[in-house]
Amino acid sequence: MSDDYSAAKAKPVAVGPPRRRMSRTERARDHRQRRRRNRRRRVVGAVGVALVTMMLIAAVFLGSKLWHSRGPVVDYTGEGGQQVLIEVHEGDFTTAIAETMLGAGVIANVKTFLDAAQGNAAIAAIQPGFYRLRAEIPAVTAVQQLTDPANRVGKLVIPEGRQLDDTTDMKTNAVTPGVFTLIAQASCLDLNGDRHCLTPQELRRAAETETPEALSVPDWAFGPVTRMGRDHRRIEGLITAGTWNVDPTAPAPVVLSKVIGQSAAELAKTGLPAIAEQLGMTPYELLIVASLVQREALPHDFAKVARVIDNRLNEPQRLEFDSTVNYPLDRQEVATTDADRAKLTPWNTYAAEGLPATPICSPGVEALRAAEHPEPGDWLYFVTIDKDGTTLFTHNYQQHLNNIEMALGNGVLDSSR
């Protein structure tokens, strides 16, 4: 550029009073203030970001929960997918059952199921247990499948008087399934074309080899159970008559443990330990008496038979019950032979005094009540004299022999045995 242009260029002009130079102290103070302001801005910004993040997470969580439980009505369509197993627990209301099905992938929405189940008496009456359902089915279909008795699995019913092993009627050769067989049958599960069942042998092996602790044996039965060693009959009577639920997917030791534990809890509810103490017996001894009552009489005579047992034990006099002779032979018969009665077993009350080593069956509530509250009387003998079940009780041995003659004449007893 030319010198003329440079000379003509405007020069900067200061506006206002001249700035005073800050001292070193003032500059340091100003620097500290700026640092504090910047730090506050950073902290406020971080807190704000954190709060926004937490609010977003909470909104997502609540929104998801609302969506799955009470949110927009959604439902599956079609016939569903694979079969799944769900468990209804004791005390579950309909909502809890719906949440279990939601977790198992059976239904798409809790509210949809509750709407479909509303006013359904069968749903309100659903019992604890295991149910086989299809995955991903409409709520209405879920209601239908859950209330269909065919879809309940693992239901175990043990009638009064059953023993662990199967028994054979010597007159008819009819076989009565024992507790092991009943449990094995209840464990059978057909799921997606596959069938699985426990076997009586697996259950018997678990009864022989598992520890009393692993089998949930109650404390009051530990001693007698331990003394029986590895005999599977050591748990006889500890699985009481009643209705139980068996997990079809569980192994034999777990199944036995669950049923024995539940039975012990039910026996505790009846007051068995306290009543036994009042009678001067152990709970296990009282359970044995109840099992003898169950096998020796019909319900209307339970309390009288309980009194006979009590009177004989107090004499002392051997019980001499044929049911205890037949027990290890796994047979049901009114009479026994001289050879049978001569066999020394832990249960033969002809060969030994006192009670047998274990219960001889699973007694029912009526037999247990009779054992706890025997009917007053001095009877020492009883015999069933006809096929209607009429049983005569007496304190006099000669009268008892006369009653036996009546039983022989009516064909109840076999004179050849």
pLDDT for 335 equals 73
Tell me, yes or no, whether 352 and 226 share the same domain.
yes
Tell me, yes or no, whether 206 and 311 share the same domain.
yes
pLDDT for 4 equals 45
Tell me, yes or no, whether 88 and 183 share the same domain.
no
CA-closest candidate to residue 349, choices 392, 317, 304, 387: 317
Residues of the chain falling short of pLDDT 50: 1-16, 44, 47, 52, 59-61, 63-71
Tell me, yes or no, whether 225 and 111 share the same domain.
no
Show the 3-state SS of 115-178: HHHCCCHHHHCCCCEEEEEECCCCHHHHHHHHCCHHHEECEEEECCCCCCCCEEECCCCCEECC
Joined together, the tokens standing for residue 225 give 């159970």
353 lies in some domain = yes
341 lies in some domain = yes
Angle at 99 between CA 97 and CA 102, to 5 degrees: 115
Tell me, yes or no, whether 301 and 208 share the same domain.
yes
Tell me, yes or no, whether 228 and 119 share the same domain.
no
Domain boundary among 136, 152, 168: 152
Tell me, yes or no, whether 364 and 312 share the same domain.
yes
336 lies in some domain = yes
Tell me, yes or no, whether 148 and 189 share the same domain.
no
Tell me, yes or no, whether 140 and 189 share the same domain.
no
Tell me, yes or no, whether 265 and 146 share the same domain.
no
Angle at 126 between CA 123 and CA 131, to 5 degrees: 105
Name the residue range of residue 351's domain. 177-377
Task: Please give the radius of gyration of the chain, using alpha carbons only, rounded to the nearest integer.
Answer: 39
324 lies in some domain = yes
210 lies in some domain = yes
Tell me, yes or no, whether 274 and 317 share the same domain.
yes
pLDDT for 45 equals 55
67 lies in some domain = no
| Total domains in the fold of the chain | 2
3-state helix, strand, coil in the chain (%, to 5): 50, 10, 40
373 lies in some domain = yes
Tell me, yes or no, whether 197 and 272 share the same domain.
yes
CA distance 251 to 171: 37
pLDDT for 8 equals 45
- The residues near 166 (Cβ < 8 Å, ≥ 6 apart) are 175, 176, 177, 178, 180, 181, 200, 330
Please report, for the domain that includes residue 119, its CATH number. Answer: 3.30.1490.480
pLDDT for 170 equals 84
DSSP-based three-state secondary structure for 319: coil
- The residues near 414 (Cβ < 8 Å, ≥ 6 apart) are 334, 335
